Amino acid sequence: MVLVLGVTASGKGRLGFELAQALGGEIVSVDSMKVYRRMDIGTAKPSPEARQRVPYHLIDVVEPSESFSVGVFLDMALAAIDDIRRRGKAVVAVGGTALYIKALLYGLFEGPGGDEQIRAELRAQAAREGVSHLHDALRQIDPEAAGRISTNDAKRIIRALEVYRLTGKPISSFQKQFDAERPRHDWTIIGLRREKPVESHRINARVKKMIELGLVDEVKSLLAEEKPLSPQARCAIGYAEIIDHLEGRMSLDDAIEEIKKNTRRLAKGQRTWFKTFRQVDWLDVGEEEPPGHVIERAKEIVDF
Dist. CA 266–CA 73, nearest whole Å: 20
Of 103, 99, 104, 106, nearest to 155 by C-alpha is 99
User: Amino acid letter at 243?
Assistant: I
Q: In degrees, to the nearest 5, what angle opens at C-alpha 21 toward C-alphas 16 and 24?
A: 115
Does residue 153 contact residue 266 with C-beta atoms inside 8 Å? no
What domains can be seen in the chain, in order of their start residue? 2-107+180-302 (3.40.50.300), 116-176 (1.10.20.140)
Tens of pLDDT along the chain (304 residues)?
A: 999 999 999 999 999 999 999 999 999 999 999 999 999 999 999 999 999 999 999 999 999 999 888 888 999 999 999 999 999 999 999 998 998 998 899 887 666 777 888 988 999 999 999 999 999 999 999 998 898 788 888 888 999 999 898 888 888 887 655 455 555 668 999 999 999 999 999 999 999 999 999 999 999 999 999 999 998 899 999 999 999 999 999 999 999 999 999 999 999 999 988 988 888 999 999 989 999 999 999 999 998 6
pLDDT value of position 110: 60
Dist. CA 20–CA 4, nearest whole Å: 11
Q: In what order do the strands lie in the sheet with 188-193?
A: 56-57, 26-30, 91-95, 2-5, 188-193, 280-284
Of 2, 5, 4, 8, nearest to 267 by C-alpha is 8
Q: Is 41 helix (H, G, I), strand (E, B) or coil?
A: coil
- pLDDT (tens digit per residue) in 151-194: 888 888 999 999 898 888 888 887 655 455 555 668 999 999 99
DSSP state of 276: T
Dist. CA 99–CA 141, nearest whole Å: 20
Dist. CA 53–CA 20, nearest whole Å: 10
